[in-house]
Amino acid sequence: MTRSAVTTEVTRPAETVTGPGGAPARRLPEGAVTPLRGLAGIAGLVAVLQVLPHTGLVSADYLPPASETFRALWQLLVEQTFWTALGDTLTGWGLGLAISVAAGVATGLVIGAVPVLRAVTASTIEFLRPIPSVALIPVAVLLYGADLRSKLLLVVYASFWQVLVQVLAGIQDVDPVADDTARSYRLGTWGRLRHVMWPTALPYVMTGVRLAATVALILAVTTELVIGAPGLGHEIAVAQTSGAVPQVYALVLVTGLLGVAVNLVARAVERRALHWHQSVRTEVAAS
């Protein structure tokens, strides 16, 4: 097969943009068209939110126009209080995520590498994992009050299980033939963990980290909202209590954008860490 034939096979379909008179102006690859479609969807949502309060279907007292929300957002961006709250939220999220990832990976590798430990702890993990983190809010308040430690307790508890379960699944997915081969070459526990178990479990680990990053942000904001710990959640509660509805929506918009940013960063880290993996290589080749 010639080089040109190979190039033709892997070329993705393009979308034609017509110019004046219907003549084709230029062709955009599908990878460039998809973000534009996403932006168009966001623009449509903003337009609906702008028009809907003026139709009388929804009271502007409860759903202000999008212009008022953006105006309130602009006012927040120039206030030091907002940036302090954002820093508090990111601090609780980052510390909680780091602790949960380190603890989840270490615990998962130890339990997964020792079959006896896996059998002994299986029922305990399945009992503790489904407990909602918000159910521990009274315990956190009793122990630490409205403090950063309360936020960390809830964030770490919720995120830890996301990582641990994925690590255990990755260890369980290790090829028995590869493990037996490593044993035949007299690799010890550390050698098999490093050269056999870890490469197999790493895709699962990155999935757990991505899930834990989102869960950690949710619990950080929820803790601030419920118990009054410093952060964006606390600012939302204060704005709601004072009747500043546009500010409430502006802060909710900020938390949504923060969640999108966290997900994008987590996916970028995942692609970089798994650049050698077949799934990432296929995704890059198809883009």
Write the pLDDT tens digit of every residue in 119-173.
Answer: 888 888 889 888 888 889 999 888 888 888 999 999 999 999 999 999 999 888 8
3-class SS of residue 78: coil
Q: Return the closest-CA partner of residue 229 out of 79, 88, 39.
A: 88
**Could you tell me if 170 and 110 are in contact, meaning their C-beta atoms sit under 8 angstroms apart?**
no
**Could you tell me if 202 and 274 are in contact, meaning their C-beta atoms sit under 8 angstroms apart?**
yes
Q: How far apart are CA 111 and CA 191, in angstroms?
A: 16
Query: Is the per-residue pLDDT at 86 higher than 50?
Result: yes
Question: What is the C-alpha end-to-end distance of the chain, expressed in Å?
Answer: 22
Q: How far apart are CA 287 and CA 275, in angstroms?
A: 14
**Could you tell me if 218 and 155 are in contact, meaning their C-beta atoms sit under 8 angstroms apart?**
no
3-class SS of residue 165: helix
Question: Hey, what amino acid is at 169?
Answer: A
Q: How far apart are CA 209 and CA 95, in angstroms?
A: 13
At 223-262, the pLDDT tens digits run 999 998 899 999 999 999 988 899 999 999 999 999 989 9
Residue 12, pLDDT score: 43
- Residue 17 parent element (H or E): strand 14-18
List the structure tokens of 29.
């690859």
Q: How far apart are CA 189 and CA 209, in angstroms?
A: 25
pLDDT band, residue 3 (cuts 50/70/90): very low
The alpha carbon of residue 272 and the mean position of all alpha carbons in its chain are separated, in whole angstroms, by 16
